[in-house]
A and B are shown apart, each in its own frame.
Chain A
Amino acid sequence: MEKRDVIIVGGGPAGLAAAVELYNKGITDILILEREKHLGGILRQCIHDGFGLTRFRTTLSGPEYAQRFIDEVVEKKIPYRTDTTVLEVSPDKVVTVASREGLVQYQARAVILTMGCRERTRGALAIPGERPTGVFTAGVAQAYMNLYNRMPAKEVVILGSGDIGMIMARRLTLEGAHVQAVFEIQPIPSGLPRNIEQCLNDYNIPLYLSHTVTDVHGGSRLTGVTISRVDEHLRPIPGTEKEYACDTLILSVGLIPENELSLDAGVKLDNRTKGAIVDEHFQTNVEGIFAAGNVLHVHDLVDFVSMEAERLADSAAEYIKHGSLPECPVEIVTDGNIGHTIPQKISGSQDVTLSMRVRSLIKNCRIVVKQNGEEIASKKMKKALPAEMIQIPVKAEKINGTQKLEVSVEC
C-alpha cells in the first residue's frame, strides 16, 4: 500500500487552500484527490464576480479565485489526481480510491476532509405534485449554463432565496429567459442582501416571502406550479393558491455538507451543522482526520472557506510533526438564538475564532461569549441575518480552566 503523510479528499477551495498551506509549513508528502476532471470544485461554475474581497482584497470571478490556488499547487508541484473518486476512508486512515487506473489504497497519517456540500432537492422538501422534467436545483442549472453551454429554461419560477438561486435568476435573465418571481417560505430572505439588490431588484424580479410551492404540474415537461402563502408555522394557507405557468422550477433551498465518507470513517456529526464535530485544530473525533470548508458547515463566502482550511492545515502540519495535538476539553454551548459554533471544542490555551450564525434576524444586539458567567468576548451587531456567518475572536488569556463557554445573544 502506498503511504502519504496527508491525503486531501476534494480539490475545491478548501482542499486547495489546505494543500498550499501544508506545503508552506514544510509538509510536502501530500496527495489531493478530486472526482471531477479539473481542480477548483464548485467555483468553476460560479462565473460571477465578488469572490476574494476578504482574502485577496480584490473582486474576482469564481474560476479566477480557484486558479490562484491551482497555480500555487502546480508551481509547488503538489501531487493531485483528478477523475478519481474516494470510495472509503477507514478510521485507521486507509483511503480507497477508484479511477481509470483501477482501485488503489493509500495509508495516510492524516486525512483532510474537504468534500464541500450538495444542494437540497425536491425530494428532500417533499414538494407534492407531478414529476415532470424542468425541476432543477440552482447549481444544476448553473452547471448546464456555465459549464455545458445548455439553456435549461424559458419561463422560470424560483423557489428559495438562497444566493445561488438569486444569482441564477440574473444569469437566466441575461441569457433571455423570463424569471417571474422568487418565492421564499421563510419570512426573511436566506441569501445576502447584496444579491437581492444586484440579482433581483436590478432586473425587476419580485421576491415573495412566506410563500412556497404547493403543487407541480406537467406531463413530460413542467407546465406550471401552484404557489401558496404560508402562516407563521410555515404551513400553506388554504385559499391563497395561485397558478404560475412555467417550464422550469429552480430550487435554491439550502445546502447540506456531504459527509458519507466521514461517517464511514467513524466521524461524529453535529446535528445542527450536518458537518463534523471539530476542535480548534479542525480535528474530528477520529484522531488525524480533519475537516474544513462547506463539508464542515455551510459558509456564505469562499474567502472564509480558504482561511478556515489554512488554519486547519497549520494544525495538521503540527500533527504530522509531533504525532498528536493538544487536548481540547473546553466545550462551547449556544443559546437558542445561535444555531451552532465552529469549533465545538477548544483547548483554552490559544487564541481562537468562533464561527457561528444567528437562527433568526436580530437587531441592535450583542453576541456574548461567557465563561463561569463572566463575559470574555463579544460582538456588537446592528443587524445580524441567518444568511451571514459571524466570527468572534476569543483571547486565550481570558479563558480560565476547562469550564464550558456559553455563546448567547443579548438585546
Chain B
Amino acid sequence: MLREFTCIICPNGCEIEADIEDGKLLSIEGATCPRGEAYVRQELTDPQRNIATSVLVKNGVLPLASVRLTSPVPKERIFDVMAEVRKVTVEAPVQAGTVVIKGILGYDSDVIVTKTVTRK
C-alpha cells in the first residue's frame, strides 16, 4: 500500500511516498537525504516528537523560562510530558542548558532550559 509522508526533520519538508506491506517498508521515494528514510521507519514503528514549553520562574526578571527536550519522545506521551513539566518551578537565576527534569518519564531525554533568566 502506498502511503505519503511529509518529513518533519528539516524545513525542506520532503514529500515521501512509501510502499508499505504489513508495517514493513518495501520501497521509498522522494526523500532527498537519508534522514527521510529513517523518519519514515520511525513513523511506522514508533513516531517520536520533540516538544517545547515553559516552566515558571520565581524571582526572575521574566515569569517564564522556555524549555525543550534534549531528544524526542513517543508522540503519544507528549501530553504526559506536558503534565510533568507543568509541576516544575525554578528559582532565578537560571541558565540556558540547565536540566530541570532528568530522563523525563523514564526516557533517555532531559528537559532543559533554553533561555537564561536573571534574578530581579
Q: Which residues of A contact B (CB under 8 A)?
A: 44, 47-50, 53-54, 59-61, 63-64, 67, 146-149, 174-175, 192-194, 196-198, 202, 300-301, 383, 388
Write out the residue numbers on chain B whose beta carbons fall within 8 Å of the beta carbon of A194: 6-8, 10-11, 13
Asked if B68 contacts A67 (CB within 8 A), the reply is: no
- Which listed residue, A174, A192, A193, touches B53 by the CB 8 Å rule? A174
A59 to B11, CA, bound (A): 11
Complex-state Cα separation, A300 to B114, whole angstroms: 22
Q: Is the CB of B11 within 8 A of A192?
A: yes
Q: Given A47-B114, A149-B63, A194-B11, is A61 in contact with B53 using a C-beta cutoff of 8 Å?
A: no
How distant is the Cα of A61 from the Cα of B52 in the complex, in angstroms? 8
- The verdict on B50 contacting chain A, using a C-beta distance below 8 Å, is yes
20 A-B contact pairs sorted by A residue (CB < 8 Å): A47-B53, A47-B67, A49-B68, A50-B11, A53-B10, A59-B50, A63-B66, A63-B96, A64-B96, A64-B115, A146-B64, A147-B62, A148-B63, A174-B53, A193-B15, A194-B13, A197-B8, A202-B75, A301-B11, A388-B11
User: Number of residues in B with C-beta < 8 Å to the partner?
Assistant: 28
C-alpha spacing A63/B95, complex, angstroms: 12
Query: How far, in angstroms, from A183 to B38 measured CA to CA in the complex?
Result: 32
List A contacts of B6 (CB < 8 A): 193-194, 196-197
> Which chain B residue has the least Cβ–Cβ distance from A170?
B51
Shortest 10 CB-CB distances between A and B: which pairs? A193-B13, A47-B66, A63-B115, A194-B13, A61-B114, A197-B6, A149-B63, A194-B8, A198-B8, A47-B52
Chain A residues with Cβ below 8 Å from B13 are 192-194, 197
Contacts of B115 in A (CB 8 A): 44, 47, 61, 63-64, 67
CB distance from B73 to the nearest CB of A (A): 13
Partner of B50, one of A49, A148, A149: A49
Q: Are the C-beta atoms of B52 and A48 separated by less than 8 Å?
A: yes
**Bound CA–CA A53/B11 (angstroms):** 8
Given known A-B contacts A197-B8, A301-B11, A383-B15, A149 and B49 have beta carbons under 8 A apart: no
Interface residues of B in 22-54 (CB under 8 A from A): 49-54
Shortest CB distance B5–A (Å): 8
- Do B11 and A146 have beta carbons less than 8 Å apart? no
Q: How far is the CB of A370 from chain B (nearest CB, A)?
A: 27
In the complex, besides A61-B68, A67-B96, A383-B15, 8 extra interface pairs with C-beta distance below 8 angstroms are A47-B53, A47-B114, A61-B66, A63-B114, A147-B62, A193-B13, A198-B8, A202-B75
Question: Known: A61-B68, A67-B96. Contact between A146 and B15, CB under 8 A?
Answer: no
A301 to B63, CA, bound (A): 28
- A197 neighbours in B (Cβ, 8 Å): 6, 8, 13
CA distance A300 to B54 in the complex (A): 24
User: Given A61-B66, A196-B6: A300 and B52 within 8 A (CB)?
Assistant: no
User: Which of A49, A67, A149 is B54 in contact with, Cβ under 8 Å?
Assistant: A149
**Given the complex of chains A and B, what is the CA–CA distance between A50 and B13 in angstroms?**
12
CB nearest to B86 among chain A residues: A175
Q: Are B49 and A202 neighbours in the complex by a CB distance under 8 Å? A: yes
**Chain B residues within 8 Å of A54, by CB:** 11
Q: B117 → chain A, closest Cβ, in Å? A: 10
Scoring A60, A148, A193 by chain B CB atoms within 10 A of each residue's CB, the highest score goes to A193
Residue of B with least CB distance to A48: B52
B56 within 8 A of A: yes
User: Considering the chains assembled together, what is the distance between the CA atoms of A234 and B75 in angstroms?
Assistant: 37
Whether, in the assembled complex, B78 has its beta carbon less than 8 Å from a beta carbon of chain A, the answer is: yes
B82 contacts chain A at the CB level, 8 A cutoff: yes
Q: Which of B64-78 contact A (CB under 8 A)?
A: 64, 66-68, 75, 78
Interface centre among B64, B66, B82 (most CB of A within 10 A): B66
Tell me, rounded to whole Å, the shortest Cβ–Cβ distance linking B49 to chain A: 7
Q: Which residue of A lies closest to B78 (CB)?
A: A174
Min CB–CB distance B15 → chain A (angstroms):
7
> For the complex, what is the distance from the CA of A64 to the CA of B115, rounded to whole Å?
7
Contact A149 B56 (CB under 8 A): yes
The answer on a CB contact under 8 Å between B11 and A49 is: no
Question: In the complex, which residues of chain B have a beta carbon less than 8 angstroms from the beta carbon of A49?
Answer: 50, 52, 68
Which one of A59, A149, A192, A300 lies within 8 Å of B64 (CB-CB)? Answer: A149
> Which residue of B54, B75, B116 contacts A146 across the interface (Cβ within 8 Å)?
B54
Shortest Cβ distance from residue B18 to the other chain A in the assembled complex, whole angstroms: 14
Q: Is the CB of A147 within 8 A of B64?
A: yes
> Which B residues are CB-close (under 8 A) to A50?
11
Chain B residue with minimal CB distance to A199?
Answer: B8
Closest to A193 in B: B13
Q: Is the CB of A146 within 8 A of B68?
A: no
* Smallest CB separation, A221 vs chain B (Å): 24
- Docked CA distance A180–B28 (Å): 34
